[in-house]
Structure 1
Amino acid sequence: MRRLWLALLFIAAWAAPPCAFAQETALKALGRLEGWRENALVGYGVVVGLSGSGDSPRSAVTRQALANVYGRLGAVVSEEDINSRNAAVVVVMAALPASANVGDRISVTVSSTGDARSLAGGVLLMTPLLGPDGQPYALAQGSLVAGGDSFSSQLNLNQRNYPTTARIEGGATIERPVNSHLVGADGRLGFLLFEPSFTTSSRIAEAINAHFGRPLASAVNADEVRIAFDPTSGELAPFVATLENLRIEPDRLQRVVINERSGTVVAGGDVMISSVVVSQGDIRVTITSEQTASHPGFLYGFASELRSLVITNTALEVDRGGDDIVVRFPSSSVADLVQGLSRAGVDTRRIISILQAVRAAGALHADIIVQ
């Protein structure tokens, strides 16, 4: 525990809290306008051209889908006549932008829903992509690019990544225009914050009113600011562009993020710790077992059924840590604490336990988020 002693002495020397400098950022980095969002699209299609790695012939869904494809193309084929592993039934997914015109192209993700082994080398047939309202908004078609492969021979399998999911960059064409309605029925725009904060929403409203010289904005809640739009002042696009580029000083959220799996600790440089006493000690218990055998050799000639006796001797040692310490240090920051412990060689998981204990004691003025 000498390392912890040195670390806390190092922190005591650095007791002065760091100065936090305000940093302004563009309004568009703090949230989004209400109504400006992507929409999910999904479709059901067939991938062909697979080299024996598609769905097995026992898949009734695949046979029915292929029969429907042949029927739309004018060929009459029954499901019983389809016996091939060169096709697979897939689900196609895409994200429809908030604003799109007919002819724009978007990327799609294709995933197998049957027992296909790989989609590598396949081609997606024309698939309509439906929105939440059940209406088609795009058509997807093209050659798949899989991020993996799978090869098998006589029960030997060699697979890299997941070849049952593939991408088609720019593989879907928008067939219906999409326009977002930013102005509500009350003639106002809603700005929604990514991180709710009454301080930030109030600062946004004040900055907008100061820039335009009149009370256009008001903070409705911690995560919403309502902004009035006057059609007589000009077009909507320049008005929104002006709003997006306003410089705002956001509120600093006091958080310490801990990832126990990777042993990562992330905290702002201005997250403070009040005066606190830290006491940490280790109790190490060591158990040593030694087995010995007793051989009754002098009785072997008289009793042939006798066997050796195994005796286990156990030694218990307890190390209570002679270098354990109790140290009081003045107000400091989490950054200084973590930096000092790291320089002293304290492992990350022990730093995490110290931070959690300090937070439970009420000396760490921040939320701890454990991932």
Structure 2
Amino acid sequence: MRRLTAILLAVALAVSMIIPAVAAAQVSTRIKDVAKVQGVRDNQLVGYGLVVGLAGTGDSDKVTYTNQSLVNMLKSFGVMISASNLKPKNVAAVMVTANLPPFAKPGDAIDITVSSMGDAKNLQGGTLLQTPLRAANGQIYAVGQGAVSTGGYVAGGSGASQRKNFPTVGSVPNGAFVEKEVPMPITDQEKITLSLSQPDFTTASRISEAIDQRFGQITDARDPGTIDIVIPRYYRQNLVGFIAAIEELAIMPDNAAKVVINERTGTVVVGSNVTIDQVAVAQGGLTVKIGQTIDVSQPPPFSEGSTVITANPTVNAKEQQAGLVELPESASVGDVVTALNAVGATPRDIIAILQAIKAAGALHADLQIM
């Protein structure tokens, strides 16, 4: 038993736990929260632009593409200048990104994120010049411009500096206007398709049954993540109302038993449906301290002897009394947590204990290590 305890603690010393496992009761939820209509999604946009008006914190002369971009911009305004004559300390080249929400119409405003590409130190106080935002197909769907808000700062002087957050990344709330609408494939159709966020056979079957009970036999659960729904004739002129009625239906989602462990941060999350077989867990600690004391032997005065320094090593071993507890068969998460607390297991020990229980074949759950 001591050997098992030593192995458990040896693994546990490598990690620390921040959030203990919390049991959550399974409750019903809306279909809207576990599935979405296929084809209704955001679209990513990206663009290249310039931020001007910086207080000497922009790109240096070494960033050649900033100079070239500035020359091209001035040329479009009829100003002809050589890149070698520019010192753009107040200008920074940036990448602009945004998410175009579904059903966004021309003229709608969306948020954009501005990120420095060169060696600019700070984008605070800058203004993004008009930047076209393109989708993956190369077409322009929005145009962004406006004052950049960084949410951070850099301050310093006399060899000392202080920095908060990342001042080389900022945002422009409502800084882009939609120029082109993205067509959604759910209109003018006789059926729609639901996509589950977490594919699961049981959840898909329950969603299908709930919709059929409400509207009749109109569904076909194609696979664990896809459900085809035929739109009733009396709803084909009111597709929004039909989808809203489906989204509000309550179902009981089901998920596979899973224990997620993040060894880098020491976080453990245990699902509510995790159970274990009968098993005994011992928890204790063995501390070994090795040191040394220095003894000095000094010869009598006027003798021909010499001073001798001797190092005497010391070894002290102390083992804490191990606690032993028996977990009953099919214990719930609450039972596991209570039992581990009873043996005095610290949060960091729970990771190693759960891994050992899984290795023993007593933990009925998927142990996922991130």
Normalization by structure 1: what TM-score? 0.85
Selected match of 1:251 from 250, 254, 277: 254
Displacement of 1:230 in angstroms is: 4.7
For the 8 Å contact 1:92–1:110, the answer to whether it is kept is: yes
For the 8 Å contact 1:25–1:249, the answer to whether it is kept is: yes
Displacement of 1:165 in angstroms is: 0.6
Please tell me the residue identity of whatever aligns with 1:341: L
Selected match of 1:324 from 317, 322, 325: 322
1:367 aligns with 2:353: no
1:135-150 to 2 correspondences below 5 Å: 135-150=139-154
Please tell me the residue identity of whatever aligns with 1:350: D
For the 8 Å contact 1:46–1:89, the answer to whether it is kept is: yes
Selected match of 2:91 from 87, 93, 105: 87
Selected match of 1:288 from 278, 287, 291: 291
Selected match of 2:215 from 212, 215, 227: 212
SS in 1 for 2:60: coil
1:202 aligns to what?
205
Displacement of 1:252 in angstroms is: 3.9
1:237 aligns to what?
240
For the 8 Å contact 2:49–2:94, the answer to whether it is kept is: yes
Q: Residues of 1 paired with 2:310 and 2:25: CA distance?
A: 70
Displacement of 1:289 in angstroms is: 1.4
For the 8 Å contact 1:100–1:179, the answer to whether it is kept is: no
Please tell me the residue identity of whatever aligns with 1:342: N
1:16-55 to 2 correspondences below 5 Å: 23-55=27-59
Displacement of 1:266 in angstroms is: 3.1
1:273 aligns with 2:288: no
For the 8 Å contact 1:288–1:315, the answer to whether it is kept is: yes
Q: Residues of 2 paired with 1:20 and 1:87: CA distance?
A: 52
**Residue 59 and residue 328 in structure 1: after superposition, are their counterparts in 2 closer, same or farther (change >3 A)?**
closer
**Residue 160 and residue 20 in structure 1: after superposition, are their counterparts in 2 closer, same or farther (change >3 A)?**
closer
The superposition leaves residues 239-268 of structure 1 with CA deviations (integer Å, 9 ceiling, x where unpaired) of 211221111111143223334455444334
Q: Residues of 2 paired with 1:281 and 1:194: CA distance?
A: 42
1:227 aligns to what?
229
1:192 aligns with 2:195: yes
Q: Residues of 2 paired with 1:40 and 1:335: CA distance?
A: 43
**Residue 41 and residue 295 in structure 1: after superposition, are their counterparts in 2 closer, same or farther (change >3 A)?**
same
The superposition leaves residues 298-327 of structure 1 with CA deviations (integer Å, 9 ceiling, x where unpaired) of 6x7758xx6x43322122233354x33554
1:49-64 to 2 correspondences below 5 Å: 49-64=53-68
For the 8 Å contact 2:200–2:255, the answer to whether it is kept is: no
The superposition leaves residues 329-356 of structure 1 with CA deviations (integer Å, 9 ceiling, x where unpaired) of 4222122221343366431111222222
1:10 aligns to what?
none
For the 8 Å contact 1:138–1:174, the answer to whether it is kept is: yes
**Residue 231 and residue 87 in structure 1: after superposition, are their counterparts in 2 closer, same or farther (change >3 A)?**
farther
Please tell me the residue identity of whatever aligns with 1:239: F
SS in 2 for 1:201: helix
For the 8 Å contact 1:49–1:87, the answer to whether it is kept is: yes
Percentage of identical aligned residues: 39
Normalization by structure 2: what TM-score? 0.85
Alignment gaps of 5+ in structure 2: 6-22
SS in 2 for 1:219: strand
1:151 aligns to what?
155
